[in-house]
Homo-oligomer: A and B are copies of this chain.
Amino acid sequence: MLQSTRLKENPKLYIFLPLYHTLWEDSILSPTEIIQMQSLIQKQKWLSDAERNWLLKKIDPTQAPGAKELRSWKAKIKKLDLGPYKNLYEIGEALAKQQAPDLQFEEQLRSDFQEMETALGLLSIEASYHYKKEHLTISTGQLKENNFEVSTMTDLLDGHENNLIQRIKTILADPIFRYTENESLSEKREQVLRWCEELAKQGFGAWAYPKFAGGRGDMEGYFTIMETLSYHDLSMVIKFGVQFGLWGMSVYFLGTEKHHKKYLKDIGTLNLPGCFAMTETGHGSNVRGLETTATYNHKDQNFSIHTPNPDARKEYIGNAALHGRMATVFAKLIIDGEDYGVNAFIVPLRNSNGKTVEGIQIEDCGRKMGLNGVDNGVIYFNQVVIPKENMLDRFALVNEQGEFESPISSDNRRFFTMLGTLVGGRIGIPRSALSACKSGLTIALRYGEKRRQFGPEGGEEVPILNYRMHQRRLLRPLATTYALHFALKYLTARFLAKTEEDGQEIEALAAGLKAYTTWFTTDTLQECREACGGKGYLSENRIDALKNDTDVYTTFEGDNIVLMQLVAKNRLTEFRQEFGDMNMFTIFNYVTNQAKTSITEKNPIIIRSTDAAHLLDFDFHLNAFRYRERSILSSAARRLKRHIDSGMDSFDAFNVTQHHLVEVGTAYIERVILEEFQKKVKEIQDLDCRRAINQLCQLFALQTLEKHRGWYLEEGYMEGVKTKAIRREVNQLCWEIRKNAIALTDAFDIPESCLAAPIAVRVSD
């Protein structure tokens, strides 16, 4: 061929080959670029006219080199040993000298080439990598390491509950608990019922109940059971929670000895499946507005339970569609036409043959987004008569004279006291949610370690977990998962030691952590799904179930936004009480001044500091979280007061500041999480584990500051240089934690049979 002839006869031309090949291989030349190339070539006076013409022709798009020619150029270049060459000029020079060892080029040519490469936007080194056989980069090299003993970390996470946890895991590994794919609702529900019966047989159902009911009186253990079971099918967990938690504990905490003796044992063994019938179609969040009635009949000394209108039907009631035989029903007690507020009653739904009793009508809620193993139903009561002793009478009763009696005189306060005894649900749900997160992250991180995609030119493909965005996606939530693990343990401990004094604080803490954890779970599992691409979409890899089953957790036990406002209102009350007899105006002045003066960290050097030691410092983190918490709370209080003072209805004032109030709740919860996490880190004895967890604690703190950087900048607590430095530090921490990522999820010690995702099959070490 002519071209080859020209090349063979004119070995000098070889110096252009790598540049020409690169140009045609990856891009279409723009008119400007063609002009630039033309001028480069015109400048080369050492070329013959024929050579120059050949070169000009080869950048003319109408006479571009063909596929075969391009391929032959590449083959020639790749034959070189390309180790030492830094750019296309050097490769070309070597190539030319290979053809004609005596060739010499002027120094000017090198700089002409480099200018050209720059003008064309070619990254010289990058372009030359194209021809190398191997190409190692930092991104290629980042591999996993175990910088701590995994089993030590597991012990640290499990704490003194480790024996119970191991026992549950052993049971879950039994073939009885193998997942089955059930297409039909009824098969799924039967499967889940059988699993729950199995767990009851093992004594887990009654665990929190008193000894006489077959239990151990161990409430902490109950939460541990919920949490550990949540590595398995979540329908099973919710069915378990409905039966032994909601149904059983409503009898336990709202009833008295006669109810305990009569029901608890059968509930704990699942001989008496039951429901917790609170929510109505018309009232979910605002349960104070429930409309079902329990009317006292003086003559027969019994109650009639009734659904007065379609919106008052009980809805979404777990265990109702199929298996429930009784229910704790929340209804307004009516005596002589007078409304004594919402109370709780045991109402039979079905007889032992499973037939609904007279006056009860039940509909099936049908298929749901998830939790399809739970049989949710709708219940209507048509004047269902129950005996007087079926009133759960710990907090209120109808006496012999048919009069209402209660140690708590206010209907409202009595109702909220009753609800307060059931706050355990707001601990069980986030602990279950967090287990689902752990499963999701374990699956996604193992896949991220194995899955390779893209890589440097001429190099191997890179594990996707080496990509910075992938690390941000999965490692930030990993840090938060560890943070929440300890926060939920703290919440549980506070709950178990609850007194009358700190009752409301703990209710707020539970509400806030429930909201925070379940939102986090939804976000995290969504990230896991996307991070696993198509594999994450296949049901076999279980992210589908994890995501969809937990999706309703943000609604369970109270809608998260409603809960966060409840937290905020509690904080506003505490805020008021903290300042005793000062009036509101004094308080605001006080807080404003305190905020102004106490914040020594808000000096010009600190707000601009980008020093790594400072950015990673625990005190810096906690001060920043506390500042945010206090400042948002007091500004919310001020805003509310200003609105009300200006004549706004307080309902409107709360509505106008609703977004602000959610932030009040969030800032409080985040401060608690960080405080407990830092405490925990300081307690850890094992230095390797401590180092690993320390980084997670820093990452949790810094990612939270990064998330709120808009606020910190608005407040002048940080300047732009600092928030940018925080972002860099977050990325850097992700990069470092990545090495431990698999070990950190291995430490969750989730049974492989529970994980079960083919993409999560353990990478051999």
Interface residues of A (CB under 8 A from B): 24-28, 30, 32, 35-36, 64-71, 115, 118-119, 121, 123, 125-126, 135, 137-140, 181, 183-185, 279, 283-286, 289, 315-316, 338, 340, 365-370, 396, 403-406, 408-414, 453-457, 459, 461, 466-470, 472, 522, 526, 529-530, 533-534, 536-540, 543-544, 547-548, 551-552, 554-555, 559-561, 573, 576-577, 580-581, 583-584, 644, 648-652, 655-656, 658-659, 662, 709-710, 713-716, 720, 723-724, 727, 731
Contact = CB atoms under 8 A, between A and B. Distances in A.
A62 to B, nearest CB: 12
A406 B67 CA distance: 7
Given A468-B659, A651-B459, A26 B577 contact: no
Given A469-B659, A655-B139, A453 B713 contact: no
A596 to B, nearest CB: 16
Contact of A411 (B67, B118, B410): B67
A518 to B, nearest CB: 10
B539 A286 contact: no
19 contacts: A25-B413, A26-B412, A36-B581, A69-B409, A70-B410, A123-B644, A123-B650, A126-B649, A183-B183, A368-B544, A369-B548, A370-B537, A466-B655, A467-B658, A530-B560, A537-B555, A659-B727, A709-B714, A713-B714
A745 to B, nearest CB: 21
The 7 closest A-B pairs by CB, nearest first: A714-B720, A713-B713, A456-B651, A369-B544, A710-B710, A367-B539, A126-B650
Contacts of A413: 24-28
Contact of A583 (B118, B279, B453, B651): B118
Contacts of A139: 651-652, 655
A577 B658 contact: no
Given A26-B413, A530-B554, A539 B366 contact: yes
Contacts of A457: 651
A181 B366 CA distance: 10
A464 B32 CA distance: 60
Secondary structure dominating the interface of A: helix
Contacts of A184: 183-184
* Chain multiplicity (copies): 2
A537 B368 contact: yes
Contacts of A716: 720
A25 B412 contact: yes
A707 to B, nearest CB: 9
Given A651-B459, A652-B138, A286 B710 contact: no
Contact of A289 (B403, B461, B470, B537): B461
A460 B562 CA distance: 18
A135 B455 CA distance: 66
- Most interface-central of A35, A469, A644 (chain B CB within 10 A): A469
Contact of A468 (B119, B648, B655): B655
A375 to B, nearest CB: 13
A242 to B, nearest CB: 14
B284 A534 contact: yes
Contacts of A367: 181, 538-540, 544
Given A139-B652, A561-B469, A713-B713, A409 B533 contact: no
Contacts of A658: 467-469
Contact of A577 (B30, B66, B551): B30
Contacts of A731: 656, 659
Nearest to A575: B121
Contacts of A36: 581
B67 A453 contact: no
B183 A649 contact: no
A737 to B, nearest CB: 16
Contacts of A119: 581, 583
B368 A115 contact: no
A659 to B, nearest CB: 6
Contacts of A64: 409
B580 A552 contact: no
Contacts of A538: 365-369
B533 A555 contact: yes
A303 to B, nearest CB: 18
B456 A340 contact: no
A152 B326 CA distance: 55
Contacts of A340: 67
B651 A137 contact: yes
Given A118-B584, A138-B649, A472-B659, 19 more contacts: A27-B413, A66-B409, A125-B644, A126-B649, A137-B649, A284-B533, A289-B461, A316-B537, A366-B538, A369-B529, A369-B544, A467-B655, A469-B658, A530-B559, A533-B559, A534-B555, A656-B731, A709-B714, A710-B713
Contacts of A583: 115, 118-119
Contact of A368 (B338, B539, B580): B539
A724 to B, nearest CB: 6
Nearest to A23: B410
A67 B408 contact: yes
A404 B115 CA distance: 36
Contacts of A552: 534, 537
- Most interface-central of A25, A559, A650, A651 (chain B CB within 10 A): A651
A534 B410 contact: no
Contact of A724 (B366, B577, B714): B714
A734 to B, nearest CB: 10
A410 B70 CA distance: 7
